[in-house]
Chain A
Amino acid sequence: MHNFEFVKPATIADAVAALAAEGAQPLSGGQTLLPTMKQRLAAPEVLVSLTGIAEMQGVCMGEGGLHIGAATPHAVVAAEAAAHYPALAALAGGIGDPAVRNRGTIGGSVANNDPAACYPAAVLASGATVVTNTRRIAAEDYFQGMFTTALEEGEFITQVIFPIPQRGAYVKFNQPASRFALTAVFVAQFADGVRVAATGASNNGVFRWEEAEEALSAEFSAGAIAGLTVSSDDMISDLHGSAAYRANLVKVLTGRAVTAAR
């Protein structure tokens, strides 16, 4: 790994200043960035740890729903979101393994936007707002294809705000070697309609399955989507599963999520 200067600011304002430096990059839980740096796929000159910033930690109810600080580890979300948004807590508790959940954070996951990551499905299905040091970004505008987001140079996530659905569930079909999602679906039922987001499936990253949303908004049951099919055109195809397999999984998992929703 190339060496770098390590800084650990205690406030968002100090992090903004530190990230203005040439070659600076944020570090959150490091569960993705450290392996990437070891492979020399990333070589920041300055690494700005966000884990010492109290304003970016924790889970609480607030305006617009559940506010989660970007540097909150998955294990803390799993424990503290359970009373407010059980489907989201369960998603956090199923990421990787205990050690990954103790370090990895929601901000790092949403910033990275891995096509097989769990949180992006929750953010999109909940219609969450990604709050950064400069603005608020709606989930629809935030995700822009695999590993691509609306974040600009020097901009970082400080918080994610989740509207809480009446019912919701996340069903993940594990890729047992990586412990990521081979494919996974988040279903959320709100008073004004149902939202369905799938991860691990598309070459364009997390996406909404609008046909299913329409059918489920009319009737919230697994049977309501029985007649629909998901096109395999843009689906990921690799040694773990073909495009057609993943397209079918999106439908199967959506049905399971509807049944499991609470």
Chain B
Amino acid sequence: MTKVTMTVNGKSVSAEAEGRTLLVDYLRGGLGLTGTHVGCDTSQCGACVVHVDGKAVKACTVFAMDVMGAEVRTIEGMANADGSLGLVQQAFQDHHGLQCGFCTPGMVMTTAALLAENPRPTEAQVRHGLEGNICRCTGYHNIVKAVLAASGQDADAIAAE
């Protein structure tokens, strides 16, 4: 076991980890931040997406030790300072972009990274950007609406297919 230190949601944190400890287990088990979910554990579903130095990554497919010292952001860091829902989270609530909610942390983190790079994506760009996030409840239509709304666009303009 080694003490692994990084910055998570703006705070310097440390917890014990082995070589094989995945970032997602470090966050959930080591730090008790259970908002990041494990859906598949095989890098297919995107439920575990967090930001490492501003980039969306699948936390189930990164070793904690490999991102020692990095700036990590998880779903727990997405609310506003006063505890109210952040912009992307609020858009998901407003547009019913979640059903069971299991995929939502990953969807929100991927969306935030997408919008940071491309503040006004087209519907096609949103769908391409969310390719690595699978929703078992299959509520993609409202998810895409939520992302467009979070970017300040008219979400109702997209075709209901």
Contacts and interface: CB of A to CB of B under 8 A. Distances in A.
21 contacts: A1-B20, A2-B20, A3-B20, A6-B63, A8-B68, A31-B43, A31-B61, A34-B62, A37-B20, A47-B63, A96-B132, A98-B56, A98-B129, A98-B131, A98-B132, A99-B43, A99-B46, A99-B57, A102-B57, A103-B58, A103-B61
Interface residues of B, number: 27
B154 interface: no
A64 interface: no
B123 interface: no
A34 B52 CA distance: 17
Interface of B: 18-20, 22, 41-43, 46, 49, 52, 55-58, 61-63, 65-66, 68, 110, 113-114, 129, 131-133
B61 A30 contact: yes
A99 B56 contact: yes
A3 B2 CA distance: 13
Contacts of A49: 63, 66
Q: Specify the main secondary structure of chain B where it touches its partner.
A: mixed
Interface of A: 1-6, 8, 27, 30-31, 34-35, 37-38, 47, 49, 51, 75, 96-100, 102-103, 179
Contacts of A1: 20
Nearest to A177: B44
Nearest to B66: A49
Contacts of B56: 98-99, 102
Contacts of A97: 46, 131-133
Contacts of B129: 98
A4 B42 contact: no
Contacts of B20: 1-4, 37
